[in-house]
Chains A and B, each alone.
Chain A
Amino acid sequence: MGHDTNYQDREFKTIGTRVKRPDGIDKVTGRAKYGADAFAPGQLVGKVLRSPHAHAIIQKIDISKAEKLAGVKAIITSADLPDLTGSNRGMTDILENCMARGRALYHGHAVAAVAAIDEQTAKQALKLIKVTYKLLPHVTDVDEAMLPDAPIIQDFVLQDGKPSNIAGISTFGHGDVDAGFAEADVIVEKSYKTEQTHQGYIEPHACLANVSSDGSGELWVTTQGHFSFRVVCSTLLGLDMAKLKVTSSEIGGGFGGKTHVWTEPLALALSRKANRPVKLVMTRDEVFKASGPTSSTSMDIKIGAKKDGTITAATAILRYQDGAFPGIWGMLGAMTAYACYDLKNVKTVGHDVLVNRPKVAAYRAPSAPMAAFGVESTMDLVANEIGMSPLDFRIKNAAKEGTQASYGPVYGPIGIGPTLEAVKKHPHMRAKLKKNQGRGMACGFWFNFGGQTCVDLNIGPDGTVSLTIGTIDVGGSRASLSLIVAEELGIPYDQVRTNIGDTASLGHNDTTEGSRGTFSSGMAAIFAARDAVGVLRERAAKMWDIPVDDVVWADGVATATGAKHSNLPPLTLADIAAKAASTGGPIAGHNEVVADNAGVSFASHICDVEVDPDTGGTKIIRYTVIQDAGKAIHPDYVEGQFQGGAAQGIGWALNEEYIYGADGCLQNTGFLDYRIPVCSDLPFIDTQILEIPNPNHPYGVRGVGETSIVPPLAAIGNAVSHAAGVRMTHIPMSAPRILKAIDDAKA
């Protein structure tokens, strides 16, 4: 629409101030409404029956007894969900993941669903559904799934014309790695494994679906993308997209796990069948078993370098499991593995492998943490061999503007160098270490995305401003967007209110992922505000009866320029809004944009740990996150993203893993045995925000939300190697694993 997306250096008046978020009071008083907090008259309770087996043919589903139970209003199986996707493989996979079609592909895979008048009746109905299974051999380990005699998960996946569990092999890189290794003075080759983890959002998936007999529907749902949910749900159910209104509730954490549908199509199908609203809330057990955890992986890393510290060649062979349906997770690992470095010869290969586990979903910088664990651990090993400090070794090989990235394109201005220099200067590096303590550092990379975005900016009759956006507020972005509008209009922050519109109120908005929320909606808000300023100037010109070119908007008021207009007092937003009816009607600004060019994001982390040599237990003593944010609109919330990602990475590094039994069933489906960090596990997490403006955003904003989960696994691995003298290659580095490594080293 003709707006300039280039960065313009300027002094900000409101941007960068630490204001109170507009939804704060609702969230501290319990008034805010999340997915499970909606109620509809006559609503039914939905419940899902799930496979107790890892891999089985579903021979028969007998619902006759369940149907007769008083209070049961609808039961669905895959027979109620015909394939309307038009052979769109991606969509059919989603459909089959939401409910099994003839085969249960993982422990917890949905097999049937009921809607009943209350939870007791729904649970009773599930017990009365009789499913006849024929057990099939299963495989849950990524390496085992690649063996020639492994049970095949999907028969449409072929390698060399033969059925295989290897759904994809992606290669990236440039140069000649063989020649590079031949040149090296030092080569380190090592293999690593990481176990499966879950995003761990505290709010389970929840929705309230209401489909009328005329095919129109409403869906209230906790989601990162209500617009994309509308697309998927209407496609799967054959509903008219324009007739399905999806409203996003407040979201109790997402981190990528709420970018996909799991039970929402089932709730809509139940509601359509029962002709009543259906509320479907996942239990915590179901969240672990049947939403979208991240990949477990195994990988082989090889780095060669000269004595002067120059890396001459680097390779990574990565194997990521996608769960039971093909994904691009191995590909993403292969793209990100060496992204921090300037390498002449690099080759990465990512395998996407199917196993009898839930369909993998994105988890904050998806696939990057695992590859970074392997690469950043090996970087330290090479540095040790050469006798160079790990920090200086990274500085020497860091990517910069003009570097060809290992995944292909050439970098513009980037922040890896500055974060490493900041590490060097940071007081954390000089803090004294005590007995059994060690320090480690690591770098991380993630892409940032833009995407389809649109916003509406409306100026009310009293001059207050309402901004309606289509991205979700995962961590305080309503405050940032209000700050942006306040900055553009030159008015106080308190005069702006940001709301999240439902799908009927705005054009399509892409999902809030890829660290794009503040970047994209922010860009659209800037342009919408500038449009509104154009309208305000025209209205002022009308009120004064002077040419619009003689009207200037600055500091929240319209001023008439020129000597002949000097008698005209300035007009505020409120003044102009009060006269809107007679000057042309309601005043608004609007913007649709495909925000793109969000750039890439780099971070460096420093970590001190203390390892108890008698138990292998590891305590985080001190942690520092240094990351480039481009421009921190609201510094508190940028810090919050840094700290939150680091905490998730710490849990991933030390405790969290999916534990499968020999029967292929998930054993730890609750927060007791899937142990995420608690308050007493962590110290204060220091943050340093670097601001190297993104040249492709008017305020220089970069995406910030994801990258901070990438460095912790290796930062902690490197710290443990110094604290305990053992090099850990298996994530999580839980106490038993570290203790075993210590004992093995002594033997």
Chain B
Amino acid sequence: MMPRISLTSSLRDAVDGAESIELHAETIGEMFAKLAERYPRMADRIDAGIAVAIDGQIYRDDWNAKIPADAAEVFLLPRIQGG
């Protein structure tokens, strides 16, 4: 059962327009590596900064964070900062 990875609209052009992708990964880092492999244009976007929301919790930096196999949702967002 692979978590569905949804992407915010500003990232979709890098994955050939897909709104969501099925991909198996155990950590955020692994997911990014596989995305960059499958979609070369994602490599630049990952470098520019992508935040990941796993079941609502936002991760900005922790690429070791685990993606639970039963995660209902993994959502990719632009990396945001505060003030």
A residues within 8 A CB of B83?
199, 255-257, 259, 361-366, 513-514, 706
Given contacts A366-B83, A451-B60, A696-B57, contact A331 B78 (CB under 8 A): yes
Least CB distance from B11 to A in Å reads 10
Are A408 and B82 in contact, with the CB atoms below 8 A?
no
Are A411 and B82 in contact, with the CB atoms below 8 A?
no
A residues within 8 A CB of B9?
170-172
- Given the complex of chains A and B, what is the CA–CA distance between A600 and B83 in angstroms? 14
Determine whether B14 belongs to the interface, using a CB cutoff of 8 Å to chain A: no
Given contacts A170-B9, A171-B9, contact A332 B58 (CB under 8 A): no
- Given the complex of chains A and B, what is the CA–CA distance between A599 and B78 in angstroms? 16
A residues within 8 A CB of B81?
259, 362, 366, 449, 511, 513-514
8 Å CB interface, A128-178 against B = 168, 170-172
The listed residue with most A CB atoms (<10 A of its CB), out of B9, B57, B81, is B81
Determine whether A234 belongs to the interface, using a CB cutoff of 8 Å to chain B: no
Are B82 and A256 in contact, with the CB atoms below 8 A?
yes
Determine whether A92 belongs to the interface, using a CB cutoff of 8 Å to chain B: no
- Given the complex of chains A and B, what is the CA–CA distance between A452 and B64 in angstroms? 13
Determine whether B55 belongs to the interface, using a CB cutoff of 8 Å to chain A: yes
Are B82 and A365 in contact, with the CB atoms below 8 A?
yes
Least CB distance from B7 to A in Å reads 9
Are B62 and A596 in contact, with the CB atoms below 8 A?
yes
Name the contact of A597 in the complex, choosing from B6, B57, B75, B78 (C-beta under 8 A).
B57
User: Chain B: interface secondary structure?
Assistant: loop
Least CB distance from B80 to A in Å reads 6
Least CB distance from A736 to B in Å reads 29
- Given the complex of chains A and B, what is the CA–CA distance between A67 and B15 in angstroms? 55
Least CB distance from B14 to A in Å reads 14
Least CB distance from A694 to B in Å reads 10
Chain A 618-651 near chain B by CB (<8 Å), digits 1 or 0: 0000000000000000000000000000000000
In the complex formed, the residue of B with least CB distance to A448 is B82
In the complex formed, the residue of B with least CB distance to A510 is B61
Least CB distance from A90 to B in Å reads 8
Are A412 and B55 in contact, with the CB atoms below 8 A?
yes
Chain A-chain B contacts (Cβ-Cβ < 8 Å), number: 105
Are A408 and B53 in contact, with the CB atoms below 8 A?
yes
Determine whether A515 belongs to the interface, using a CB cutoff of 8 Å to chain B: yes
Determine whether A454 belongs to the interface, using a CB cutoff of 8 Å to chain B: no
- Given the complex of chains A and B, what is the CA–CA distance between A714 and B16 in angstroms? 40
Determine whether A409 belongs to the interface, using a CB cutoff of 8 Å to chain B: yes
Are A450 and B57 in contact, with the CB atoms below 8 A?
no
8 Å CB interface, B61-83 against A = 61-62, 64-65, 72-73, 75, 77-78, 80-83
A residues within 8 A CB of B72?
410
The listed residue with most A CB atoms (<10 A of its CB), out of B58, B62, B64, B77, is B58
Least CB distance from B69 to A in Å reads 17
In the complex formed, the residue of A with least CB distance to B6 is A408
A residues within 8 A CB of B60?
449-451, 596
- Given the complex of chains A and B, what is the CA–CA distance between A515 and B80 in angstroms? 13
Task: Give 30 A-B contacts (CB < 8 Å), ordered by A residue.
Answer: A170-B78, A172-B9, A199-B83, A259-B81, A259-B83, A362-B83, A366-B83, A405-B56, A408-B6, A408-B8, A408-B75, A409-B56, A410-B72, A411-B56, A412-B55, A412-B56, A412-B57, A447-B58, A450-B60, A451-B60, A511-B81, A515-B82, A516-B82, A594-B61, A594-B62, A596-B61, A596-B65, A597-B58, A600-B58, A696-B57
Q: Report the 8 A-B pairs with minimum CB-CB distance, sorted nearest first.
A: A256-B83, A514-B82, A362-B83, A409-B53, A171-B9, A594-B62, A596-B62, A409-B75
